[in-house]
Structure 1
Amino acid sequence: MRNFTITKVVVFFIFCVTVNTNAQIVISKPSLGFTQACASPSFNTYNVTFSFSPESGITGTNQFIVELSDDAGSFATPTVLYTSAQGSVTTSPATLSFSIPISTSGEAYKIRIKSTSPVATSTPSDAFAAYYKIQDTPFSINNLISTAAYCSGGSYLLTIDNPGTGDNDSPLQYPSLTFNWYKETSQTTSVFIASGESLSVNQPGTYFVETNYGTCTSNSYSNRVTISESTSSTSSEISSSLGNPYCSSEGATTLSAINGNSYQWYKEGVAISGATSQMYETNEPGKYSVTIDLGGCSISASIDLENSGFSSSIDVPENNTIDEGETLVATVTTDAINPEFEWYLNGTLISGEINNSYEATQTGNYKVVISQTSGCIASTEFMFIVREAFPNVSNIPNLISPNGDGLNDTWVIPQEYVNGANAEVSIISSQGEIVHKTNDYLNNWPENQLDFKDVNPVYYYIIKTADNKTRKGSITVVK
């Protein structure tokens, strides 16, 4: 009986040692399937591979856990990134996928793998940079105004615009983010200045700010602002919240100036009563300006505000001349969405002309109306005149015959006195009445039928040139 008891104890001891030996596994150092984790709302999946031995050492209830250290590599309070289902991982090596938390931000994170049955922990992985780019689009500073100034001995405060409205997704809406300010040293290089939500500048230069995503590349950066020390000729810019041109159907636009102590807004050079804030709201186009007191000095800014919602241009001047048999091609360039074109001659719509170009074959007053038919519904127009080229006569005639036969019907004078020469032309009747006076003579007198009270009435002309020379003479009118 005594020997049997000893034998049972020995067998039980051997069994315990065997079970204890089989319940131990070793997990290798994790191998990362990436060099840095630059996550965003559109991408946040990463892989880690590890080995464990022996495979027979894990139980049917075992789970593998992926843990993330803090940004210094410490696992004092690890974050669980992934936990496998019980018994789902049975072969080695194994690869697990995980996502990083939105609060992740640092350059020295590490990952380790743990098992639950039996309990085991790997050594940490190599350190890696990890950031969750919760905001990854360009944003604005300084009200999107590209220039600013400070008084001698003073400074200018650059700030990130907030709140985020329209296309401006302000990073200040995300409290976890931090920011780095830079000064350009060339077109392609810059130097770090400071961190923070704002920057006080007392040195001329071009500045910008980026959201701090460390070594991860990002589109979360601001516009550039060039800051100078104010002089008597220093000026700035005005920004329009709806752009310029803006779409009047979207409501009023907000005009913004740079930071200052006080402001006075003007429209067409006239002070706007009560408009003394940094911003001014309007739904009227026009030329706006503002004077800005910077404290010890002041600067001005201006904008020619248009409300068509798009921009256009035409490649012909307002006044044009063509010789007999010639034509004039006018072409409109526009960024309007789905534009439509209407061409007019002397106020009448020209049927069938719907393209952005028109070939003018007749003299007269032309107009083209450009309409944007999608988005901001708006239109704008251009007007131009086509005249027949003036004959290049050498002498001032003293006789005309306005009888409609096409010969000497109007008083045609040398080109040095006609349209564009800035010469004053006066025509006076024999009774001393001024019947025609202009500084833009078009070789078109008489435009209307003259009342012949005399057989061959005589008129007199006086031409005063831009250099104060005078020509005088008479004009006999015959049928």
Structure 2
Amino acid sequence: MRNFTVFYIILFLSIVYTSNAQIVISTPSLGFTQACASPSFNTYNVTFSFSPDSALASTNQFIIELSDSSGDFNNATDIYTSPQGSITTSPATLTFSVPTSIAGESYRIKIKSTAPVSSSSRSVPFAAYYKIQDTPFSINNLISTGAYCSGSSYLLSIDNPGGAMNDSPLQYPSLTFNWYKETSQTTSVFVSQGETLSVNEPGTYFVETNYGSCTSNSFSNRVTISEASSGASSEISSSLGNPYCSSQGNTTLSAINGESYQWFKDGERISGATEQMYTTNEAGVYSVNIDLGDCNVNTSINLENSGFTSSIDVPERNMINDGETLVATVTTDAFNPEFKWYLNEEIISGAITNSYEATQRGSYKVVITQTSGCQSSVEYTFVVTEAFPSVDNIPNLISPNADGINDTWIIPQEYVSGTNTEITILSSQGEIVLQTNDYLNNWPENSIDFNAVNPVYYYIITTENNQTKKGSITVIK
């Protein structure tokens, strides 16, 4: 009987001891300084110690408790719970992920145990953000300029909806945004928060998703705003770029924000084109008149649909003397370009590079074709003529007597209207009687009165490339 009494006393004391066992959990040591999480990374470690090991029950679980963004645990969140009895020795390291809604600069964590119940003190504060959107995005329809009338303002906004061309952060309602104004090429100042910004001061503005001290790639393009009354500038953007590849379909032209719009193509008004955007698949010079309320802005774009850019280094009209040559060179960023040169619409055999040396007079053409990606072509034409015709081809005698023969001074077509050649005719006393860059082979338009002596006039022909030919014109009856 005595032995049974001793056994029950020992069992009772053991139960009492176990039910009152306690552990001390140290302040958690963070394995990070910031928790800048994203869909591609969200794993963090925390280390802690506890004592004594023997006080843990086999059912014990360790829990990571997360405060709110100010470090307050009144509405704390459990973000990790270990399996029962999985941790039995000290120190221990737990791996956890932060919630996708996390956003703030002063979060803290605690470590709790369940058997026995205990809690650590708070960790040091840390910044934590879940960067659900972490790519560049667009504002102002990617138009890099904007203008407002004096005394008014211009509204900048984040573009939405998102898509393949624009991962708009407005697709994620939990995000907030900070707007900035540039003070130099490398510095800026905070302006405001929100999805839009009303601007009434000239400057360059942009917006970033508010990920606090966590570095991110969630930022917008820059937009330069000016006051219309002080010489505002603007531009038109093309959704497929400029040049764009016409085989990819239509491109959308976008203008800055305004109250009303009227679009033009090659100077002609486009009926019904009165919205901020205009869709087309045709090359040309597009312009739009934008009513800003108290003032207007007009801007244009030379839209090309070749998918590449190119240029040629010779003008449309060129002159060479006997024995001279003209070298024409094409510059292009086309992928795997193909070149074909023509003379008087006949292909020139062997001329397949970006440069050609013209030795003959005539009408030339070069066709540049992009053979990879957007397959498209662009052509340039130019004319090569003799520097000056022979003296026999420039009349030095006219008879303005209305008989239909030599009534006016008729010179070769290379120097008449449309060639930008300056024609000057002077009297024998040096008085200028005609000076024009638009000669129509019509001098003299009025009769010239004279008696016995045939009057003599002098001409000066000056070409667009400043070559000069001089001679005389004798007027007879």
**Counterpart amino acid of residue 212 in structure 1:** N
SS at match of 2:45: strand
SS at match of 2:234: strand
Instruction: Find the partner of 2:143 among 137, 142, 145.
Output: 145
Q: Please give the secondary structure, in 2, of the residue aligned with 1:266.
A: strand
Residue deviations 1:239-275 (CA, integer Å, cap 9, x gap): 1112111221222222111111111111222222222
C-alpha distance in structure 1 between counterparts of 2:90 and 2:353, whole Å: 70
For 1:271 and 1:70, locate their aligned partners in 2 and report how far apart those are by CA, in whole Å: 59
Q: Pick closer, same or farther for the CA change 1:319–1:228 going to 2, 3 Å.
A: same
In the alignment, the residues of structure 2 paired with residue 386 and residue 60 of structure 1 have an alpha-carbon distance, to the nearest angstrom, of: 98
The answer to whether structure 1 residue 57 and structure 2 residue 55 are counterparts is yes
User: Paired residue for 1:260?
Assistant: 258
Counterpart Cα distance in 2 of 1:470 and 1:389: 15
- For residues 437 and 325 of structure 1, do their structure 2 counterparts lie closer, same or farther at Cα, with a shift above 3 Å needed? closer
Aligned residue number for residue 10 of structure 2 = 11
The answer for the alignment partner of 1:406 in structure 2 is none
The counterpart of 2:406, out of the listed 428, 432, 451, is 432
Q: Give, in angstroms, the shift of residue 380 of structure 1.
A: 1.4
- 1:304 maps to 302
Amino acid at match of 1:236: S
Residue 28 of structure 1: aligned partner: 26
- The one-letter amino acid paired with 2:238 is S
Q: Structure 1 residue 189: deviation in Å?
A: 1.4
2:109 to 79, 103, 111: 111
Q: Which residue of 2 aligns with 1:241?
A: 239
- Alignment TM-score, normalising by the size of structure 1: 0.78
Q: Does 1:46 align with 2:29?
A: no
Deviation at 1:29, TM superposition (A): 1.6
Is residue 101 from structure 1 mapped to residue 83 from structure 2 by the alignment? no
Q: Which moved more, 1:49-58 or 1:159-168?
A: 49-58
Measure, in 2, the Cα distance between the counterparts of 1:222 and 1:173. Answer: 15
How far apart are the structure 2 equivalents of 1:29 and 1:170?
Answer: 41
- The within-5 A match list for 1:140-289 is 140-231=138-229, 233-289=231-287
Give distance in 1, aligned partners of 2:39 and 2:291.
43
CA contact under 8 A between 2:394 and 2:411: conserved in structure 1?
A: no
Residue 108 of structure 1 deviates from its aligned partner by 1.0
C-alpha deviation, 1:107, in angstroms? 0.7
Partner in structure 1 of residue 90 of structure 2: 92
Give the aligned residue type for 2:290. I
> What do residues 154-203 of structure 1 show as CA deviations (whole Å, max 9, x unaligned)?
11111111112342211111111111111112222111111111111112
CA RMSD of aligned residues (A): 3.5
For the residue of structure 2 that corresponds to 1:11, the secondary structure is helix
Cα distance in 1 for partners of 2:41, 2:321 equals: 67
The count of corresponding residues between Structure 1 and Structure 2 is 427
CA contact (8 A) 1:234 1:300 kept: no
- Write out per-residue CA displacement over residues 78-137 of structure 1, whole angstroms, 9 at most, x where no aligned residue: 333333334443433222222222211111111222333443322221111111111111
Match of 1:231, SS state, is: helix
**Could you tell me how far apart the structure 2 residues matched to 1:354 and 1:59 are?**
86
C-alpha distance in 1 between matches for 2:336 and 2:86:
58
- Give deviations 1:306-328, integer Å, cap 9, x for gaps: 11122122334434456666655
- Is 1:76 matched up with 2:64? no
In structure 1, distance between residues paired with 2:29 and 2:296: 61
- The answer as to whether partners of 2:66 and 2:109 remain within 8 angstroms in 1 is yes
Which amino acid letter does the alignment assign opposite residue 440 of structure 1?
Y
What SS does structure 1 have at the residue aligned with 2:170?
A: helix
CA drift of 1:387 comes to 5.2
- Distance apart, 1:351 and its partner CA: 4.1
Gaps of 5+ in 2: 420-455, 464-469
Are the structure 2 counterparts of residues 390 and 72 from structure 1 closer, same or farther at C-alpha, using a change threshold of 3 Å? same
Deviation at 1:233, TM superposition (A): 4.2
Length-normalised TM-score, structure 2: 0.78
Q: CA deviation at 1:215?
A: 0.8
* Pair 295,15 (structure 1): closer, same or farther in 2 beyond 3 Å: same
Greater shift after overlay, 149-158 or 65-74?
Answer: 65-74
CA distance in 1, matches of 2:349, 2:23: 89
1:465/1:387 CA distance change after superposition, 3 Å: closer
CA 1:13–1:376: 2 relative to 1, 3 Å? same
Shifted more, 8-17 versus 272-281: the winner is 8-17
| Distance (Å, rounded) in 1 between the aligned partners of 2:364 and 2:94 | 73
Q: 1:197-237, CA deviations, whole angstroms, 9 ceiling, x for partnerless residues?
A: 11111122221111111111111111112222222743421
1:433 is displaced (CA, Å) by 7.1
Equivalent-residue separation in structure 2 for 1:241 and 1:317 (angstroms): 32
The Cα offsets for residues 319-368 of structure 1, whole Å up to 9 and x where unpaired, read as 44566666555443323233333333433334454444445555544333
Q: State the one-letter code of the partner of 1:170.
A: S
Q: Unpaired runs of 5+ in structure 1?
A: 401-410, 414-425, 443-459, 475-479
1:63–1:87 Cα contact (<8 Å) kept: yes
Residues 14, 323 of structure 1: alpha-carbon distance in 2 compared, 3 angstrom cutoff: farther
Q: Secondary structure at the match of 2:141?
A: helix
Q: Secondary structure at the match of 1:16?
A: helix
Does the 8 Å contact 2:394/2:412 carry over to 1? no
Q: Which residue of 1 aligns with 2:289?
A: 291
Share of identical aligned residues, percent? 67
